[in-house]
Structure 1
Amino acid sequence: MCPAYIAGLIGPGDRKSIQPMAARSDAIPYDRLHHFIGAGLWDSAPLQATLWSQADELVGGDRAWLIIDDTALPKKGKASVGVAPQYATALGKNANCQTLVSVTLASSEVPLMLSLRLFLPESWTSDTARMDKSGVPAPLQEYRTKPEIAIEEIDRIIAAGVRFGCVLADAGYGLSAPFRQALSTRGLRWAVGIPRHQKVYPAKRATDLPGRRQRSSSGTTCAGRQIYGRARDARKREVAAGQLAQGNQTPPPPPLRAGKHRHLTHCTSRSHVANLSACHMANLSGRADQRQRAFAGRVRRNWGWITSKGDPGPDFTAMP
């Protein structure tokens, strides 16, 4: 039955479910094919071991790539295992579909699929009766994220002796820190995509996590006081220099108050602070040009201005 079923999958016809495949071939009785797929009394491990061995002989080696991705199978009903409204890569939008985590071994222009694991959304794993009715094995009823499934498949492939030099994955997996850390823990070389909002820091740079910030008695973080202190000093120097050049002895405006502004969500350098101060001064004097307004917008968009007690901080939106 296995050769007949494979022939039905790769043969002509749009629908690949059991009834249409049986109707297109007189050699496949519907009842036998349904029993073969529904009961699942055959062991797939020997077939998978043969597939992996032949794939390793064809494209395996240090110059091979192990590509992690997922694919979607659009569905109309609700009875198929794992079907739920979720993002469908084949359609480019959210739709009712099944999602499978795929592992592909590739070298040059030759890709060979090694594994396809069905992803079960939480709408399925939270309903034990639904999984029992659909025949989901007990060990697979626990919820696993797609990166966790991918790591399990990578461990199985490594244990089988399949050779590859690097693991590749798109941003759907690259944004998962546990996934990246698991690859490094296993001593694997990897390259993953990341979304444009992902923050990346050099390995030797010490990050100041929000939960570990030291606060003063006024509630201001030490990092925030340092940033605003530098901005205040740069602002005073610029105001004083401008007044001396114009012969104006008008007292400078009051400095930025660090007690109300907490911190920037991203650590800025001295040049950023100086530019921020210049933009703020240009706003106060009404002489902001297009570049300064663009920089102020990037500061608000990329770093985010976080204040307490409803204080909006420096007003960049009022620039002419």
Structure 2
Amino acid sequence: MGTDLCTLVLWDSAPLEATLWNQADELVGGEGAWLIIDDTALPKKGKASVGVAPQYATALGKNANCQTMVSVTLASGEVPLMLSLRLFLPESWTSDAARMDKVGVPAPLQEYRTKPEIAIEEIDRVIAAGVRFGCVLADAGYGLSAPFRQALSARSLCWAVGIPRHQKVYPADVQLIFPVAGRGRPRVRHVPDVKSMAAHAMLE
């Protein structure tokens, strides 16, 4: 009588990842390298694939049923090398513990995280691994996130990100002042000394 065995083994990718990242750094790493943050979408037909949901698919340029992964690429000149892909779990997944348990999503990854939050975690891993780069690049999907931009600055990183054309911005020489209230309760917070304007208007 035969016995069927089915074993689920968690594979530790860290050793292979460390080797690949070291080789990537040797090939293109340095002050002239770019660390590029982007999305990679995999269109799907069904509902069983982990993380699949109606969401924006970069490959199609529209909303579609797909999986979305946060990608981190090290590039220099015309040579891009992928460092990591991390699956994004929409709230339709993270709000359904039974669904995640059924497909084996590890407990530490079941908490909802935005794509910018995942990107910052990956950037921290890249820095900790000693991979060298001069600047972080990201499109408006990440650039519109103030916490993402602030996290890059908090790490003293050089960065350039896209933003929506209508996003309100301030000139580089803006100052925070503490205005005196003419009447009513005294102000308790500083305010910019100039009004904000749409990004496209500032560039005109």
Deviations 1:45-96 (A, max 9, x none): 1111111000000000110000000010000111110000001011111110
Q: CA deviation at 1:199?
A: 1.2
Residue 160 in structure 1 maps to residue 129 in structure 2 = yes
Partner residue, 1:129: 98
Structure with greater helix percent = 1
Task: After TM superposition, give the deviation of residue 207 of structure 1 in Å.
Answer: 6.3
Match of 1:149 in 2: 118
What residue is the counterpart of 1:89 in the other structure?
Answer: 58
Among candidates 32, 43, 49, match of residue 63 of structure 1: 32
Structure index of larger Rg: 1
1:193-223 CA distance string (max 9 Å, x none):
1110111112442469xxx995857xxxxxx
Q: CA deviation at 1:42?
A: 2.1
Residue 171 (structure 1) aligned with residue 99 (structure 2): no
Contact between 2:137 and 2:159, CA under 8 Å: does it hold in 1?
A: yes
Residues 171, 213 of structure 1: alpha-carbon distance in 2 compared, 3 angstrom cutoff: farther
- Distance, in Å, in 1 between the alignment partners of 2:152 and 2:63 is 29
Q: Which of these residues, 171, 188, 195, is aligned with residue 267 of structure 1?
A: 195
Mapped pair 1:113 → 2:82: yes
Q: Alpha carbons of 1:213 and 1:94: their partners in 2 closer, same or farther (altered >3 Å)? A: farther
Pairwise CA distance, 1:41:
2.9
Offset, 1:185:
0.6
Structure with the higher strand share, 1 or 2: 2
How far 1:129 sits from its partner (Å)? 0.5
Percent same amino acid among aligned pairs?
83
Provide closer, same or farther for how the CA distance between residues 215 and 80 of structure 1 changes in structure 2, counting only shifts above 3 A. Answer: farther
Q: Kindly tell me: are residues 213 and 83 of structure 1, through their superposed partners in 2, closer, same or farther at Cα, counting changes over 3 Å?
A: farther
Structure 1 residues 216-231: aligned runs within 5 Å: none
State how far apart, in whole Å, the 1-side matches of 2:145 and 2:89 are. 18
**Number of the residue aligned with 1:43:** 12
Question: Residues of 1 paired with 2:162 and 2:61: CA distance?
Answer: 18
1:75 equivalent in structure 2: 44
Matched AA of 1:153: E
1:250-282 deviations in Å (ceiling 9; x for gaps): xxxxxxxxxxxxxxxx938xxxxxxxxxxxxxx
Q: Aligned in 2, Cα 1:214/1:94: closer, same or farther, shift over 3 Å?
A: farther
Residue identity in the other structure for 1:49: A
Gaps of 5+ in 1: 1-30, 218-265, 269-301, 303-320
User: What are the residue-to-residue correspondences of 1:177-196 with 2, within 5 Å?
Assistant: 177-196=146-165
Q: Provide, for residues 222-265 of structure 1, a one-character-per-residue CA deviation record: whole Å limited to 9, x for no partner.
A: xxxxxxxxxxxxxxxxxxxxxxxxxxxxxxxxxxxxxxxxxxxx
> What SS does the aligned partner of 1:104 have?
strand
**How many aligned residue pairs are there?**
185
Q: Is the 8 A contact 2:53 2:90 kept in 1?
A: yes
What amino acid sits opposite 2:75 in the alignment?
Answer: A
What displacement does 1:43 show?
1.2
Task: Please tell me whether the aligned partners of residues 170 and 195 of structure 2 are also in contact (alpha carbons under 8 angstroms).
Answer: no
Unaligned runs of 5+ in 2: 185-193
Paired with 2:143 and 2:180, the residues of 1 have a C-alpha distance of 27
Query: In 2, distance between residues paired with 1:63 and 1:206?
Result: 32
Change (3 A) 1:105 1:213: farther
